[in-house]
Amino acid sequence: MTIQADYSVLFSAGESSGDQHAANMFLELKQCSPAIRGLGMGGAKMRQAGIDVRYDSAGIGVIGLVEILKHYGEIRRALNLLKQIIVQEKPDLLVCVDYKEFNLKLARFAKSRGVKVLFYVSPQVWAWRPGRVVTYGKAIDMMAVIFPFETKYYEAEHVPVRYVGHPSVDKVHPQRSRSADFELFGLDLGRPVVGILPGSRGNEIKRILPVMLAAAAKLAAQRPELQFVLPQADSISDAELAAHLGDSALAIKIVKQQPYDAIQCCDAVMTTSGTASLEIALLGVPMVIVYRLAGFSYWLGKRLVKIPFIGLPNIIAGKTIVKELIQAELTPDNLAAEIVQLLADGDYRQRCLTELQAVKQQLGDGGGSRNMAELALEMLSGP
């Protein structure tokens, strides 16, 4: 589909993964409609794609009630700015990318002002509060889901829904061969590599990176031949990392803007829960998934979440295929022990690799960003 009309699309992405998804979608939109304009809230990836980012979302990508309350003023300012843009600039379409509660409020406002709303990346209604399907259905014109099993929840309530495919399937590809990356990053091909992925939010870095570093120190003491790589998320500053790495005696290779090349070098990875865990699965690298919230946020979440997993590979598989260390279970000893098992236990490692391959197959052949662009163009050109 090619459209020449000068449409404007308002994007609202509050987190690092959403920033990437919005950027990929907009690049596909520009291929189909060169005159289209993008603006809104996001980060570096959206800017690079040519979207006019009016509010940088780096400071509001937080999870958990306590964390959200701490950043409430900044979140409120972002919401008010986007509402102002809707009133003053009257975009033709609002694309809400994940960031569910914020974007639900924005979607309601946009709909009340006659702006079409496309919600990209469904809230995980199958994990918590299934009744919210109806709530979101009233605030949007179309829900674009990235997992095939999600459509049934919306169809049951007659909410317009389209399965577009997971955007990570298209974008998770290293730029170089594994051997070329080892040379570029100064790594030894003859020694195992452990990846450290502490997350893309500031509060994740504070809560999780110290535990990962302590686990890495234990691993280095047990197995001096190990090498460590840390792919730095675009949303995390050098200063945030330095605050934790400054006291560490470990030799850790920091890799910027090349996460998939860094991950493909790894024999095992310790990762914060989120999109990164799915990307690691697509690259076929064994991992352990970790997370830690403020105590009250975790207590509340345990009462709302209806599924037994938090890691996307486990959710898609419908069973535990990757170890999860959550809250009190997240200790340096537990984390180090799991990495050792993934490296040293051949049968355990192979079972993990086989299950990760099955997850990859479930996600299909890709085309998610292109499908999203075509869906957006349908909505723009339709009644």
The answer to whether 55 and 41 have CB atoms below 8 angstroms apart is yes
CA distance 291 to 286: 17
CB atoms within 10 A of CB 179: 10
Judge residue 28's burial from the number of C-beta atoms within 10 Å of its C-beta, 0-12 exposed, 13-18 middle, 19 or more buried.
Answer: buried
d(CA 78, CA 54): 9
Give tens-digit pLDDT for 238-297. Answer: 998 888 887 777 899 999 999 999 999 999 999 998 889 999 999 999 999 998 876 545
Reported as a single tens digit per residue, the pLDDT across 282-324 is: 999 999 999 887 654 554 455 555 667 788 899 889 899 999 9
User: What is the amino acid identity at position 203?
Assistant: N
Question: Ranked by mean pLDDT, which of 16-20, 67-71, 95-99 comes out on top?
Answer: 95-99
pTM above threshold 0.75: no
DSSP category for residue 147: S
